[in-house]
Structure 1
Amino acid sequence: MSVRRYFGANNRDAMRQVRESLGPDAMILSSRQLDDGYEILAMAEDALDEKVAQADKPPANDFAALAQRLLSEVQEMRSMLNNQQKKVTPTVHPIREMVNILQAAGFGTELIRELAAALPGNCNDVSAWLHEQLQQRIQLPSFPAELFSDGVIALVGPTGVGKTTTTAKLAAHYVMQFGPEQLLLVTTDGYRVGAREQLKIYAGLLEVDMHALEEGEKLDVLQDKMCGKKLVLIDTVGMSQRDQRLTQRIAELQAGAETPAATRPLTRETTQKTTQKTTPKTSNTRLVLVLNTASQRENLDEVVCLFQRTARESGMVIRDCIVSKVDESVRLGGALDVLIRHGLILHFVSNGQRVPEDLELPDTEALVNLALNGVAAEYAEFSQWLANFGEQSATPARAASGALQAQGKTVASLYEQLRADLPGFDFIESLLNIGELPANDQEAALTQWYADIQAEAGKVQPKTLHWARTKPVAGVKWHLANLPADIESCLLPLPILPEPVANIAKIHQNLGVQQHIFQMLPSEATLNWLNSPENGLQPWVAVINRNHRFRVRNADSKAATNATNNAAAKATNEKEERVAALALRTRLNSHHSVQLHYRGEAAKLTLGSVAVKLMNSSVEYQLWYGELAAEARGAGLVRRFWLLPKTVAADTAKNLIVAQLKGDEAASLTRQTHNLLQKAGYEHLSQPVSVALATTLAASAIHVEQSMAPVFNTARQRLFNLSGKRGKANGQKILAGLIQLLEATVAIQIMSAAGVRSE
């Protein structure tokens, strides 16, 4: 018998060579992953005709039985494979697992030792424990936007960390909440070309007073300008932490001895009396350190140490910080490590250049997820390498595929179950086939694939359509597709190509959806369509930025309403305020509580609402605000605003908000899936095909996690077992199981490519 060896960049490339050389009926004898590619041993079918004829014919669709029979029949030929050794992934000690995760994420040895000492001996889910511990160790202010308390605030830090842009963002947020009259901007940056002009432009746009301090000048010269101002923001010159002039620059930020009490900040240790006429011995200027998260951990550590030491030498302290350039950071662990070890209080997170949109209040869960979730694959590979030092190690997905070939019957059964019970899952195979086409043919085939998906969605008649944001997913350059949801509000893996929102009427008609969920405020044309009685006044909800401004009745409107015979009262009743959503939390006039399951854990959602109008519209809407907290841990999970039509009843509004939260993970999970696919042997797929596959798998994982249908109870448990994870099943763990299921199915099909025939 003539056995031939084929070598390719991946299993699909090697299989393509086999088909071209031996035809579609070639017999696959063995396949394995090598350091530099993929190897397949195969032979022509006619060379095995006599041997195959002697064997009992296995069931046509039993992949596992066929794979096992083929392996036993060609055992003699397997001696040519250089004694391939069966790899068994050993059990990893919890501390070793924790060390691998934290080191891969960029954390330092000091914090790792501290966490290792606190790790419980009976810990069953190291990853979940780490997430909880790191979130608890990040210090936050006593209340949101505490930095806007009255006083003098100076942003300090090395060059290029984004102090000027951050100052402009802080100023814009302050103006939106409190107005421009009580804010003063100051710049001391006379070195960088255009620095003063840049801040001056922002000050002009915000209608805020601004002053530039010359080199050597202290804050004393601004006494007159600071009178009557509640907040003074200082953009300082960027200097290296090793610059000898740093001490002098920090000292120049001290407020003078006659600083008015109105301009002094409240410290954490004591509260200054408003009648105090002179400053205390310690400077009352509050220093806020701006840290670039894209820098190395060692560099950030030195910046904090030297800036804090310099501040102490000048009679000042640095306890507060803002982290910048989160969108440019590859590994966030180093920055979190420095924040935790030095006990810095994190006030804001800057993740882009836009003013003021890219400045957010810190979300500890999101920060820890960014730091840890992306290193899961790297940790698994490194752990395998440590356990099998000196031997060839496979990636986690490949190792899982090899193990799953021995359990092919279970894998095939699970795969067929998902194809039958989850609308859209059976389109994955055709998507993989598109990825094997020549590059010139893929675009047309993918367009037809989306058309078939939309036709299938029309047959399913989804209840809800989740409209994706019009801008790319955070951290990548591609857009998320629109996703329908069933009557349970569970996402369906039927991605609808993003179209201009003006086509909402067409999409609505083709799919027959009953309600709409938007991840941002719809356009004016879409709002007009939604509010038109001719279109049935469909229920909808839109996620709203906390800084979005609305028109609301002023505080005197309610009293004026009762005095209808008084003309002055009527005029007062018509007065309206323009207020940011964040400032409306204190005016909520109704409160509701909802229990739900959010990202793998039980949670409680507290809601309230208030009537508002958009700035450019006379239509009245409902603005809802909600805080979601984990019941078991008591930790805050989500704080968010939603806009709904005035005509929507309270119960319908709550259901719409819960439906939005249930699909909340789609964007982040799709991005994570896209990254995992690149590491699992699918890097040859074009970006549009890879994104479509990632979207379908992510929506499938969310559906399997959230669906209460009995058929998905078994699928959920099997996928969780395939993931090899511990703890509670959530979308991320089910996604890992789905990717391994896909890899195992492909591997089994390769093994049985020549033996499975239709009768």
Structure 2
Amino acid sequence: MGVQRFVASNSREAMRQVRSALGDQVLILSNRSVEGGVEIIAMPEQEHEQALSSVDGPAEDVAPAEAPMATVTDPTVETLQALNRQLLDDVRAMLREGVASSQASTPSLATILRQRLIQAGFSAALADEIIQDSPDELRDEPAESPAVTAWLVRQLSSRLSLLEDEEALFADGGVFALVGPTGVGKTTTTAKLASRYVMRHGPKDVALVTTDSYRIGAAEQLRIYARLLGTEVHALEQNGDLGDLLTRLTQPRRALLSRSAGKKLTVIDTVGMSQRDQRLVGEISRLGSGPAPARRVLVLNAASHGDTLAQVIDAWQQASLEAGEPLWGCILTKLDEAARLGNVLDVVIRHRLKLCYVSRGQRVPEDLERVDATSLLNEALALAGESPFVSDAAARTLPPQQARQQAISRGVLRQSDALAATLDTLKQHNLGMTLLEQAWHRTRLPTASGGDEFSRLMAGVTQQSLLSAADTPHALYWSKAVSVSGADQAMPLVSLDHQGMPQPLTWPRHRLPAGSGEQFRWAEKLGAGWHLMTQLPTVADLERIDAAGRGWLAAVTGARRIRHDGEWLALSQAMALGETLEPRPLRHQGRAASLHLTRLETSISQRRRDSHGLPVVAWYGEIRDADEGRRLARRFWLSSSHPGLDIASRLPQAVIAEALPGLTRQADQLLQARGLVEDREQRWQLASTLSALALRLSAEEANWAMDVRARLSGIAQRRCGRRPRALLEALMDTLSAHDALAGLASSDRALAA
């Protein structure tokens, strides 16, 4: 059999091929990324032992023959003999230690990503923060794959604060002062910024001011730009009164040359100063005079070293704070001259500066552009490479425990950012998340007031208003109207998005109108486009749903009788006549699986003797293991026959929703153990809401969900993966931690007041 080579799209598939061909007793000789996936070279352990024996055997036989040669005194012969023995020992060692050395030389994904970030110019601290909670979905991906790069870009982008609306900035106007060291391009950037305004609103409402009386030609350079733009320009002497000039420029009644209106946008080109210059504080203080303090925008040279940039930001931020206001934002210049962009982006991220613009050349106004975070970060990662200025120590990976301790020691502020980012992402993609966060906060209030607030927030009318305001298609999940196994309450109704994924909005069953007909009429007010049911209603109820133009999907058993071609058949028997569809991927009980579907157009009636039947579509699904193809489970459904609703694409979500009742019971037990929500009914509703969110996170394939799962693992200090129970606990930890930090902030503000 010998040494064999296996190539697959990922490590998991390659190892499956290895075990299938060579069995479990196998030695991995090589494991590396290649074009098209992963390459593994392996051989059976038994053949490896035989190879070692074949090497050791001849060596022992040769030894006696070498004895007579020991008397040879020729030093050249002795040297060759020693070299031969050394080579033979080296071959033996390589064969015995081949597997260990091969595995040790294959760096982990986290190690490669850390080195990639550092080689792009990002700091080791930021690299460790990003990779410590990488998603499980990326473990088998090559480090250079688009999915891994996209994840890195999203993590960096989420930490980068940007100017959101340039139009609103120009509409509001104001006074902006470009500050920074000498030679970073403040004068040119002043002209570029003014030109962007002029191109939209004309030159009438713009004024340029320079306070640089030190650099020869500074004022003249700005005058040239002003003539080209058609704007006013004012050069202030070293001891000139900046406040008086700004007042005359911006106040309508005191405008220069009897104009009736002041300038809407004033851009100040300040004198360049070293971060160590003692006059820095005084120069910044001048910008605080006038009718309103000038917003200070720090101009940074992207080609500078990261340590230098950090010193510049620290010095100018400190001087700005002493003058009464922090830096408003920053502009990056000379991107076209920078060997790497990671260093400047790293310091901007770590110092929480708002990045407004980037500049790549001298042309006015073409070379000043808004920030496209995705393009900029992709460019930064593309510039990664070996550098003699990056030490080996910086590229080393810390042991997991030490990395975790270092991450924890970074402080409450960074943890607060992670919590806020996680909750913001959940709010953006999950209708009802804002309501859930508020309801969780009410559980911390005293029993009486907290209970009343909780009831008001989670009232049906509140959630109905939220659905109406969102104006997005949605559905409803109806569990059986009996108590959940292991609990004494029925599963609430759960809101689903249009594709059938759970949303954190629920309605207790006991608050619904009595009777199934009244309940479906109540549901029509919510605007649900279709219904997912775990129990088939009466045919009369289904006809009412069809008449209202709503779709439906209900789980049934194979023994359910249908009327097909005049025969009264069991569903399991009739599905042999159906049409086979393409399999659909899904996750079943924590593993990758596929749903193999069969579809049959048929009809049902309440009783066999009924003269007519309701047209429906019958479905049979086999859930099979994605790797081995063996059947894990099977399901039967009936659905409406309306052609406008793609039921087949929603059947995987129907399988996922089966876990909602059991997960709600677990959530209720966790809430009770944590001493939250004494009222039993309120706790059950909160449990169902949390369960809906946790279940969606476990099943959702979108990038936002992958990022949230990774962040939740970091917040909870344990790897959650896609396990619903683990994600449920991590969500509770996240909400509790965010609530606690918000309480600390409120206490600090109260003490300060």
Q: TM-score, normalised by structure 2?
A: 0.40
Whose relative contact order is higher, 1 or 2, with alpha carbons under 8 Å and at least 6 apart?
1
Give TM-score scaled by structure 1 length: 0.40
